[in-house]
Amino acid sequence: VITGLMTNACINKNSRAAKELGYKVILVRDGHSRDAKEEKQGKELIEKYNKQLEKEGIVELMATKEVRFKE
């Protein structure tokens, strides 16, 4: 389960690395962010990476409220 900051750097690279290592990668669609001068700019970048990583088969997107951990 991937969350964090710097969508275009850490989130992107760690998602790809985890997939390459064979992990099932869940990206929390509303659980990452980007430093942007304007809020709209940041939201657009986050949505771009959500769509791109999902389309490439790197991640499965999930909202925060959907994440459940099991023993």
Higher pLDDT, 2 or 36: 2
Distance, in Å, from the CA atom of 45 to the CA atom of 40, rounded to the nearest integer, reads: 9
Residue-level pLDDT at 35: 73
Q: What is the pLDDT of residues 22-70, one digit of tens each?
A: 999 999 999 988 776 666 788 888 999 999 999 999 999 999 999 999 8
What's the whole-model pTM score? 0.86
Residues 6+ apart with CB under 8 A from 61: 26, 27, 29, 50, 54
| 43 HSE (CA, 13 A, CB side) | 3
